Every structure is written in C-alpha cells, then in structure tokens.
Copies of this chain bind each other. A is one copy, B any other.
Amino acid sequence: MEFLKQRIREEGRVLDGDVLKVDRFLNHQIDPHLMKEIGQAFADKFKAAGITKIVTIESSGIAPAVMAGLILDVPVIFARKKQSLTLREDLLTTEITSYTKKEKKEVYLSKKFLSSNDQVLIIDDFLAKGEAALGLCRLVEQSGANVAGIGIVIEKAFQSGRNKLDEEGYKVYSLARIASLENNVVTFVDEAAR
C-alpha cells in the first residue's frame, strides 16, 4: 500500500533501531482519510471471505477496524484491556504481553458477541512478535468462531510474529511490511528484496 508506506517514510520515526513511532497518523494523532484507505484495503482483500465480525484491540486498532467494518457492513468488537464496572457477564479472557509496553495484560471479549457461526477478521495496528494477534485468535476461537483472516497495518517482518501466524495457518495480510529499522532507517520488504 504505497500511500501508507509514503506516510511511514515521511512521518515515522525509528527509536533504538527497533521501535517505529507513527503517532502522527495512527497511534496518537489519527488521519481519518488514511484510516478510510486502510479500511478499504482490508475490505477489498477479505470481501470474499464471508466476514461477519471484525475483532480488534484497544486503542490503536479501533480506527482502521471501524473503517473496514463500515465498508464490509459488519460490527466491530474491540478487546478491552481491563475489566470495567459496566461489563460483568461471561467473558472470554486471555493474557497478552505488550511489546512496546513491556508488560502483561489480561484482555477480554464479551462472549455474547461471537458464536460458532461467525467468520472473524482480526485487525491490528502492528504485528511484531505476534502476541496481540495470537491473543485475539485465542479469544475468537474460545467462542467457537473462525478466524477467517488477520489484517495488519504495519508488520515488522524482521520479528517473529509473521512466522508464528503463518505456522498456525492464519491468512495474514499486512499493508506495510518492514524488513529492517537498522540505523534508524525504515526499509520495506519489497525494497529489501531488490
């Protein structure tokens, strides 16, 4: 997705050779038009998969997921990171280790929103070591629903997440695949292969 890669080149910042900061358009400030393009790309890719629900995780996955949900005409469910007073009934839960925050978090989905009839598209902002994506797959599969695909905005292809998801047989579609952040320079997978 050339439009996204251009934004990463122009506005992304690399910290310590392995963290990519994209808070100008995705993780803190959000560009709604870019989110719409991203949602359209996910919708185009998975439109034949019979998607009935999109599952993401708060907070940075919500904007691209809602745009994809609008186009695919399906509800979006966001996994939450901590139990609030207003959610009490039966929950699906799992533990996810955050790569950037260096901490474990219990995340949950309400059971009532998924069933064995659902074909679920998982959407997240980043794929690094695959912890969040695999955690979302566990939550979805606990409900009996099927993970029909995984849409990732930015994949750090030099980390282990993509291989883990491929090995488990998930269909992963990443809009920008980063081969390296070495020397604090962003190199995409297609460029690295040239």
Contacts and interface: CB of A to CB of B under 8 A. Distances in A.
A85 B102 contact: yes
A10 B188 CA distance: 48
Given A35-B66, A62-B63, A84-B100, A76 B23 contact: no
B59 A21 contact: no
A84 B26 CA distance: 14
Interface in A18-46: 19, 21, 23-25, 27-33, 35-36
Interface in A97-116: 100-102, 109-110, 113
Contacts of A58: 58-59
Nearest to A63: B66
Contacts of A88: 15
A113 B27 CA distance: 13
B76 A29 contact: yes
Contacts of A75: 25, 29-32
Nearest to A57: B59
Given A58-B58, A62-B62, A86-B21, A28 B102 contact: no
Contacts of A30: 62, 66, 69, 75-78
A70 interface: yes
Contacts of A27: 86
A11 to B, nearest CB: 12
B59 A84 contact: no
26 contacts: A19-B85, A19-B86, A21-B87, A23-B87, A23-B110, A25-B75, A28-B113, A29-B110, A30-B75, A30-B76, A30-B77, A32-B67, A32-B69, A33-B70, A33-B73, A35-B66, A36-B70, A58-B58, A59-B62, A59-B78, A59-B80, A62-B62, A62-B66, A63-B63, A63-B66, A82-B101
